Structure 1
């Protein structure tokens, strides 16, 4: 067994003195030594490195010193595995809680019990899907795999939010979701059941796309398309985060029960955009920014959850919290504690089919980034099998998650910063993180905290998190050669996508239909949903133009 050495000084990189003796033992004795010895539990790692703030003179010891690197299958000390697993889990919390909170509060207006349940379900299904992705199972007698075999995390996709917002807007408009006498939107769990049922029917296209060779997917969905999708998703979601930052989307121009934010029954209701609410959001946002400058590696990885902790502390001390929901929540929970009546809505079929096609492609750059930082091959048959396994795992993860009443899943590269900071790409940390995420979901009070926090605190985190999606799109687009052809594709795709963002109802009356043919009505609503969802219509335009417009050999790259 090989135990990696510590960080602190140049002479601290020597392997343990008994390494040769341990490596010559039978495998079962190596495992016994690993679980019963000081080297196996603690090793020589300098744990102080993980918690030392980046403030002079505290950081002098580690200036210019890189942590030792742990590969995919290296044996990491048990204590370090637990710490790094916790670090990866903490870095994922924002990505896990934000989509279900946005779905519950900004789209379907679910009650507090259902909202807290969706958060807990998201943690549980995220842990299951991440464990599957890290493990990488070989399908018997086939060349196919399930999972990348990397420390590649899986989390709820943000892409579903745009579809959900547009879908429920249409349902509230036509009256199939309830509103109160003052025009405020009431909970519509039936609509979420319709989304779940339709996703169960459409997720199979993502599973099927795992059988398509990656080079073909790259040809159909080049970086000029995937980069524009990420950019549009980020910009679109920032507006939703800003609605929460101001107090809550429901009370922006609301009346009656929602005349004040988040509603008139809140401990300290205020108008939307009140300076006090804006200040609560800034307390979260600025904490995340400050930790990037002065935080230790552990604090930087957990900057989102620490920012939320600061916002919750300030809002709690100033009377914006109510403990009723937290106190009423059971200590433990699991999947299917709340259920939703499943149905299939024809208006969702086409948008969700396109969504899952985009999901199968959007994970490829993230898997590439994780493979590169993990120091494994990023080309050739082995890497292509990781891509195939990652796409298939995302599809199966979405299927499992939807069966568990949660959101569809997609691979993400948000934990790559943790790998870079700690030098640990070991899959053991990934399995540990998966277990911690599942435990967070089972602990019902944990989800209740996120479901009960003031919207302004959540909005400060969401704006930062959603901005990282837009920046990821810019990063992908920076890799695109700016030829005349690529600029034309970007202009057309982004033009119509941004048009959806600034004027979301522009297409609402084009295919309006009030007749009695419900099949036709559902089809036309599906087309409307495609056209009015920014990243979906941009994907359609971008893919079509990419296939029709051929690159000329003599075409030169234009100046940026």
Structure 2
């Protein structure tokens, strides 16, 4: 079967397992050392080996209004997991994958650095370490190594990993506790303004706690996938993802859009944070100034215009387009401080800067919950990746991909801590790149990993990312975090929403939205406990972190209620009848539910 024959008009057909795939150039896999040498020679010495027959004009041509009726309706051929890929297409697709996930990779370390008031050199290193770690561990996730007894490591798909957004909300709550109890330094001005001092040790504690908690996800990977999907159905996973996105918009996206998510957001009357991002910036302004909001809005609108008129290539990197347009205007207006670029090293790598890796006991319980959420996200992302890659989404092979992906996710959490990076988990946005480019080939994925490592090694690139003004970053990340919430809404839409499910969702978001809108509600919950010892105080702090983290609290409520509330007989449920006489079969069914039924 030729790879050329599989087009976008046949998405329902699955390709056979990778061992039976044919190459586009020769029709079969090269056998033996001599054949491999000939294959490589043909690859690098012929035009077909470099370019193939891919429609590059379709990939790069903008979607202009007067051309929409003339554009071809058929796309380029579909390149499966192990099919023979032209060198230029593999590199171009890999670069597109890297650029599509770039904004999501640089955002968490920037937010961590801002939350802990770290210096520019440390912040730039954290960005580089994140990029390098993601490139290395993505290679592991794509590998699909057979271990023992039918267990695997990796999915064998283009499953790229990135710094988990789930860690951000939990880490912010952990940092708040550390500053409140004196673990991290802070000063109080005469007018009552609290200024947080640099606290790199807090980041090391998050890394150490993450390292030991990663064994939970490793253990979960050996639980049969069908059981995991029954424990964590779309009702639970969708609620968690929605609250992750919503909480990040409130804690990082919008505050940065207004000028900064640091102490300047409170608009103190004195001190270095009297203006945003600080009074030492090239053009500091009070938080919420129209200039800041306009810069963020420009970046946001650039994303929309790219979606309207951009080529397929640009649509997949619309976030980068928004950052680029915002930075060009901000630079011309004098808002960019280039000192981070000058002070960043030309070449860097892991462990150039290190942190004191220690375990922070109050963070253990929240971090365990984070790894449970990472496993839930991994199951959904692997399912989506398998569908868009046109491989089976039921059966033993698919279950082994789930098992291998969750195991690689857990091991990635362990190794990422050693790489001085917070937990890395599977990213979902690359599925859109596969769908549009019709390239699910792992060679392209390996090029993606190469570009990520290259971006991380070139230290000046991290300095450029760090120089992005807060309003530009805020306008882009608000859209990025909203996309996370929309992904959760999509997962929730898989439910049939009987009375039971509506009750579970209402109960879960009561706590989630309550935490989100009034984040201090549980701050003083244990103030009345008389003279707690150090161990008890650590437990109380741990519970406080869980209570004050929206996605942890809502996910916990949804999980418990889903397990204890009895299932309803939908045949007699009036809620299954909608206006207009449509019966329940018109409603979309859960992909996860169908997979679970097929697997069992």
> Above 0.5 in TM-score?
yes
Which residue, 68, 72, 75 being the options, matches 1:63? 72
* Shift in CA distance, 28/539, structure 1 to aligned 2, threshold 3 Å: same
The Cα shift of 1:514 comes to: 6.5
Matches within 5 A, 1:33-182: 33-58=42-67, 62-105=71-114, 107-139=115-147, 141-182=148-189
CA contact (8 A) 2:344 2:462 kept: no
- State the Cα distance separating 1:57 from its structure 2 match: 4.2
Question: In 2, distance between residues paired with 1:214 and 1:21?
Answer: 34
Q: CA deviation at 1:484?
A: 1.2
Worse-matched range after superposition: 374-383 or 19-28 = 19-28
- Following superposition, the deviation at residue 21 of structure 1 comes to 10
Cα pair distance change 1:268/1:457, threshold 3 Å? same
Is 1:341 the counterpart of 2:350? The answer is: no
Once the two structures are overlaid, the 10-residue window that deviates more, 161-170 or 273-282, is 161-170
**Match 1:222 to one of 233, 244, 254:** 233
For residues 85-106 of structure 1, give each alpha carbon's deviation from its aligned partner in whole angstroms, at most 9, with x where no partner exists.
Answer: 001111001111111111111x
Q: By how many angstroms is 1:145 displaced?
A: 0.8
Whether the 8 Å CA contact 2:232–2:376 is kept in 1: the answer is yes
Partner of 1:300: 315
Would you say the 8 A contact 1:3–1:39 is kept in 2?
no
| C-alpha distance after superposition, 1:376-411 (max 9, x if no partner) | 000000000000011011111111111111110111
1:211 equivalent in alignment to 2:227 = no
SS state of the match for residue 162, structure 2?
A: strand
Note the C-alpha offset of 1:165: 0.9
Q: Secondary structure at the match of 1:252?
A: helix
Contact 1:4 1:43 in 2 (8 A): no
Could you tell me how far 1:125 is from its partner in structure 2? 0.7
Query: Counterparts in 2 of 1:2-41, with a 5 A limit?
Result: 4=4, 19=26, 26-41=35-50
Q: Where does 1:361-510 land on structure 2 (aligned, <5 Å)?
A: 361-510=376-525
1:61 is displaced (CA, Å) by 5.2
The answer to whether the Cα contact below 8 Å between 2:257 and 2:473 also exists between their aligned partners in 1 is yes
Q: More displaced, 519-528 or 253-262?
A: 253-262
Q: 1: distance between equivalents of 2:545 and 2:125?
A: 28
Distance of aligned partners of 1:56 and 1:542 in 2 relative to their CA distance in 1, 3 Å threshold: closer
Which residue is 2:289 aligned to? Answer: 274
How far residue 358 of structure 1 moved from its aligned partner, in angstroms, is: 1.6
Deviation (angstroms), 1:558: 4.3
Displacement after TM superposition at 1:17 (Å): 11
Question: What is residue 597 of structure 2 aligned with on the other side?
Answer: none
Greater shift after overlay, 126-135 or 381-390?
Answer: 126-135
Deviations 1:385-444 (A, max 9, x none): 000011011111111111111110111220111111111111111010011001000010
The correspondence for 1:518, drawn from 521, 528, 534, is: 534
User: Mean Cα displacement is larger for which, 96-105 or 308-317?
Assistant: 96-105
Q: CA deviation at 1:153?
A: 1.5
Quote the Cα distance in structure 2 between the aligned partners of 1:45 and 1:215: 39
Q: Which moved more, 1:180-189 or 1:300-309?
A: 180-189
Deviation at 1:186, TM superposition (A): 1.5
Q: Return the alpha-carbon distance in structure 2 between the equivalents of residues 455 and 291 of structure 1.
A: 21
| 2:248 equivalent among 237, 249, 255 | 237
Is 1:533 matched up with 2:540?
Answer: no
Partner secondary structure for residue 86 of structure 1 = helix
CA offsets, 1:241-267, max 9 Å, x none? 100000012211143100000000000
| Other structure's SS at 2:196 match | coil
| 1:347–1:6 Cα change, 3 Å | closer
Q: Secondary structure at the match of 1:67?
A: coil
Q: Is the 8 A contact 2:24 2:83 kept in 1?
A: no
**CA distance in 2: counterparts of 1:472 and 1:17, whole angstroms:** 35
8 Å Cα contact 1:2-1:74 kept in structure 2: no
Deviations 1:496-527 (A, max 9, x none): 11111011111122223573611111011001
Point out the more displaced range, 15-24 or 205-214. Answer: 15-24
Equivalence map 1:311-350=2 (5 Å): 311-350=326-365
State the secondary structure of the residue aligned to 2:425.
strand
**1:173 shift after superposition:** 2.1
Q: 1:248 to 1:381 in 2, by over 3 A?
A: same
* Partner residue in 1 for 2:304: 289
Instruction: Mark the runs of 5 or more structure 1 residues left unpaired by the alignment.
Output: 8-14
Three-state SS of the structure 2 residue aligned to 1:184 is strand
Structure 2: 5+ residue runs without aligned partners? 8-21, 579-600
SS at match of 2:350: coil
Contact 1:108 1:189 in 2 (8 A): yes
Distance 1:502 1:558, change over 3 A: farther
RMSD in angstroms over aligned alpha carbons?
Answer: 2.2
Kept after mapping to 2: 8 A contact 1:5/1:44: no
Matched with 1:262 is 277
Check the 8 A contact 2:63/2:309 in 1, yes or no.
Answer: yes
Q: 1:26 to 1:338 in 2, by over 3 A?
A: closer
2-structure distance, mates of 1:345, 1:18: 55
Deviations 1:60-83 (A, max 9, x none): 553312221111111110011111
Q: Does the CA-based 8 Å contact 1:4-1:44 persist in structure 2?
A: no
The answer for the alignment partner of 1:551 in structure 2 is 567
Regions of 4+ moved over 6 Å: 15-18, 20-25
1:11 is aligned to: none
Between stretches 373-382 and 550-559, larger displacement belongs to 550-559
Distance 1:48 1:524 in 2: 60
Q: Which residue does the alignment assign to 1:247?
A: 259
TM-score (norm 2): 0.88
